[in-house]
Amino acid sequence: MTDPSEKRMRTMTQAPWEDAVLRLLEDVYTFAATGPRTLAGWQRDALAVMNREVDDPRGWITLDWDKDNDEERTGSRPCYPFVPLPEAGLGSRLYPVTAETAARLLVEMTYEWGPVGTEEQTRAALADARTVLDRYGDRVSCYSNVTEAAKTPSPDLTNGVTGWAPLTEFIGDFGFVVASSEEVGVFWSFDAR
């Protein structure tokens, strides 16, 4: 018998996924990349994505505003704009969140930290966010640096993101890691003012 999440991952195709990612994140300062899962654990796999050590296993789009920023991304800091973190440092700044919270965080990124647009715009953005997350299947673990997630995996984001455990030196940053058995995605938003 086939695992339903495996079937969902197989049926997700490149074009709808990339279209959803671009509609959500193309016009805002974000980082959106996926890498393979390994036996090393999701923290190490997420750091490999953040350090640009791995490519998308399917060859799908990556949004990386700092990819060509050689001035900041020297050999000593390939993770820019993220600060260099060990696995424990990453794990201590991220809290478990539900997949629905991760979808809502994608919407917050679209609207540059909230509050979001009209009800119709929010519905469309949530549909795109769920399409993005569908790539990873039904059995995922999600982790965010949003401080409200320290209290609950389903924080109230009605008023936008109001606190975070920083992963950059910017005035603000928030995002999430989504990990499946096959892939790990890193979706992050930056306020560099």
Predicted confidence (pLDDT) per residue in 46-57, tens digit: 999 999 999 999
| CA 87 to chain CA centroid, nearest Å | 17
**Rg value, the chain, Cα:** 16
Look at 74 and 130; give whichever has higher pLDDT: 130
The answer on pLDDT for 102 being more than 80 is: yes
Summarize pLDDT for 18-38 with one digit per residue, the tens: 999 999 999 999 999 999 999
Residue 71 pLDDT class (50, 70, 90 cuts): low
Residue 191: enclosing H or E segment and its boundaries? strand 183-191
pLDDT at 73: 56
Average pLDDT over every residue of 113-126: 83
Q: 63-67, 136-140, 169-173, 175-179 — which is least confidently predicted? A: 63-67
Amino acid in position 120: E
Q: How far apart are CA 26 and CA 42, in angstroms?
A: 26
Residue pair 33/25 in contact (Cβ under 8 Å)? The answer is no
The answer on pLDDT for 114 being more than 70 is: no
The answer on pLDDT for 142 being more than 70 is: yes
The answer on pLDDT for 138 being more than 80 is: yes
The answer on pLDDT for 158 being more than 80 is: yes
Q: How far apart are CA 163 and CA 144, in angstroms?
A: 11
Look at 73 and 106; give whichever has higher pLDDT: 106
